[in-house]
Amino acid sequence: MCGICGFVKLKSNKPQISDKYIKEMCDAMISRGPDGEGQWLQEENLAGFGHRRLSIIDLSDAASQPMSNCDGTVVITFNGEIYNYTDIRRELEKTGKYIWKTSHSDTEVIVHAYEEWGIDFLERLRGMFAIAIWDNRQHKFWLIRDRIGIKPIYYTIENDILTFASEIKSIHKVLPQKRKINEKAFYDYLSFLCTPCEDTLFEGIYKVRPGTWVCVEGNKITSRRYYDVLDYIDMSLSKAREEEIIESIQSELRTAVQLRTISDVPVGVFLSGGIDSSTNTALFSEVKKGSVKTFCVGYPEETESYQSEFHYAKMMSEFAHTEHYEHIITPDEAISFIPEMIYAQDEPIADPVCIPVYYVSKLARENGVTVAQVGEGSDELFWGYSHWKDFSKLNIWNSIPGTMWLKKNLINYYNGRKQEESYPYEILRRATRKEPLFWSGAEAFYETQKQKMVSGRIRRQLNDYTSFEAIRPTYERFMEKAPEASFLNWMSYADLNHRLPELLLMRVDKMSMLVSLECRVPFLDHKFVELAMSIPTSIKMKGWESKHILKKAVEGIIPNELIYRKKQGFGAPVQDWFKGVMGEQMKESVLNMVDNTDLFDRDYMHQHLENAPDIQDWFLYNLSLWWKKYIA
């Protein structure tokens, strides 16, 4: 796990770029790679790479990056881990073509795999990655993000030079002028708590989409999605018995966890006591030699809006015989961390869970662990959210033929009572426009709310734009390609393409890398995702029980008391924090942004902030602090 950066020229006659340019970019993300640093410049100054190293696999200097093949015709800088690299290396060794400089570096495997198979080598990788490759034979550059989007990669084009990095702040280091707000992205942020790909909140800075490569050849830039889970659905599962599906889940998940034990440094597990983290702990303990370290954070007992999970985490720790560590996050700790959190986020990731993710990462790092297993992805794959049931039931109603007249009459009913900002109104608005009722597993403000929140200038500029346009291509692709286009599969597919990579996985990446900790995500192994997305809806939704088939699959692996306890997501007691000094800080910060920009309707926002603060205000608080740090 590392930080990568660099540039490639679209026109060869551009001015010389020195290694200082790359050095400055590397310096902006030292926490991603405290164990080493390297730079490379192409001899004609057409490209240059930088790398900050967090040593995980092959700790020798020979495995340092940027890395080239023997004759220097292929150069790579790479962030991530390839879990099946030994299998690929054996396949390459059989050809007898390649001289190996390292004993077991996954980076060197990528170099030779590209030599052997070209860009199609991506089909063989099992892991998480952001990769930059310079092919000196063809003067061709590749920028690649892994299938699920676990690792981020950003880029911008300025004066016919493409500059890329693992963090936006690294780009800002050499291109400080790239600090203007992308106003369409700002409007989308108010819906999704993050910025949908490929935009960022900075105008002119982009993020590569999950499962996508960007190629530069001369002054031509092309982009292609090389992976879509819908192309890998196993239709044979539509006729499989539940017992067979359970066996497949157990087998594939064991493989995913076992692959993620590969490391030359200590590996631990984040353990909250829920199904996902407990399953990770149990399966990891099956294959890990010696005692496994597990980590849990919580809040003081007097917290009202979040119940402690320490009891359940301890239960699982005792069951799996782990070496367990806990930390209680106080309100003062949470408040003191917020400025550092904003800096680390690069662009707002308006999920307060960033705070506990940071503290559990810090706890792991302080107790000798460099790699941690995390449980993201299970809820999206196995119907783990209670509000998904509500959406599913609403969709049944919405699918009744001949009810459009009723929906339009109900819209008029709400209009007459000034209920345009309500949840029922938004559902009816989507239904009458024939949009899917579900846009994302995390929504901040509805379209009618946003229309009142933003300034007249923003409304005029965006005209009839709604944030559905940000996910419309995903919806159209799903409706065209999904073998079973059920509403449940749409919810999973939507979040796999948007909420997971740009919100949930980014909060893990940004907060863990702040303390130089690598996080691995077994539930998002692409083979496991393909299996989960192939399971028939009738099996997943059996009896309207959340995670029905996953619960059956982990019976006997973890205690039933943990499987069938009431679900409690990993969260943060924001409303409790807002009762104290944080509430006043929030109002002051948001009003500062409102009064000093023309992004918001000032009268509406002042009135809104007179109410008791709630979770929506955290989204505005995060945004305002980002604006103050990076824009103002």
What is the DSSP track for 127-152? EEEEEEEEETTTTEEEEEE-SS--S-
> Helix H segments across 94-241?
106-117, 168-174, 183-192
Is the pLDDT confidence value at 303 over 70?
no
Terminal alpha carbon distance of the chain: 32
| Amino acid in the structure at residue 384 | G
Q: What percent of the chain has pLDDT over 90?
A: 89
d(CA 251, CA 17): 50
The model's confidence at residue 244, banded by pLDDT at 50, 70 and 90, is: very high
pLDDT for the residue numbered 422: 85
For 117, phi and psi rounded to 5 degrees? Answer: -120, 0
Name the average pLDDT for the chain: 95
Question: Residue 442 to residues 42, 263, 495: CA-CA distances in angstroms?
Answer: 44, 34, 9
pLDDT higher for 566 or 192? 192
> Helix H segments across 293-443?
310-320, 331-345, 354-366, 378-381, 386-398, 404-416, 423-432
Mean of the pLDDT values across residues 92-104? 96
Sign of the CA dihedral running 556, 381, 147, 278: negative
For 36-88, the pLDDT digits (tens) are 999 999 999 999 999 999 999 888 999 999 999 999 999 999 999 999 999 99
**SS3 (DSSP) at 453:** helix
Q: Give me the residue label for tokens 């570096």.
A: 105
Structural contact between residues 621 and 589, judged by C-beta atoms closer than 8 angstroms: yes
Burial of 625 (0-12, 13-18, 19+ CB in 10 A): buried
The model's confidence at residue 291, banded by pLDDT at 50, 70 and 90, is: confident
Verify whether residue 5 is a known catalytic residue: yes
Is the pLDDT confidence value at 590 over 80?
yes
Burial of 167 (0-12, 13-18, 19+ CB in 10 A): buried
Structural contact between residues 518 and 54, judged by C-beta atoms closer than 8 angstroms: yes
- Using left for φ > 0, alpha for ψ between -120 and 50, and beta otherwise, residue 559 falls in beta
Q: Which long-range contacts (CB under 8 A, 24 or more apart) does 300-304 make?
A: 300/328, 300/330, 300/331, 303/573, 303/576, 304/573, 304/575, 304/576
Lowest mean pLDDT among 171-175, 240-244, 568-572, 588-592: 568-572
For 181-202, the pLDDT digits (tens) are 999 999 999 999 999 999 999 9
d(CA 572, CA 352): 6
pLDDT for the residue numbered 416: 67
pLDDT for the residue numbered 526: 98
Is the pLDDT confidence value at 508 over 70?
yes
Is the pLDDT confidence value at 536 over 70?
yes
pLDDT for the residue numbered 304: 66
For 392-407, the pLDDT digits (tens) are 999 999 999 989 999 9
Nearest to 321 by CA among 290, 296, 353: 290
The model's confidence at residue 1, banded by pLDDT at 50, 70 and 90, is: low
Predicted TM-score (pTM) of this structure: 0.96
Mean of the pLDDT values across residues 470-483? 97
For 363-417, the pLDDT digits (tens) are 999 999 999 999 999 999 999 999 999 999 999 999 999 899 999 998 888 876 7
Question: Residue 220 to residues 73, 213, 459: CA-CA distances in angstroms?
Answer: 21, 14, 35
Q: Write down the catalytic residue from 5, 197, 296, 519.
A: 5
Structural contact between residues 115 and 93, judged by C-beta atoms closer than 8 angstroms: no
Instruction: Render the burial of 308-336: b for 16+ CB within 10 Å, e for the rest.
Output: bbbebbbbbbebbebebbbbebebeebee
d(CA 625, CA 113): 44
Lowest mean pLDDT among 51-55, 518-522, 611-615, 619-623: 611-615
Mean of the pLDDT values across residues 447-461? 95
Lowest mean pLDDT among 141-150, 296-305, 341-350: 296-305
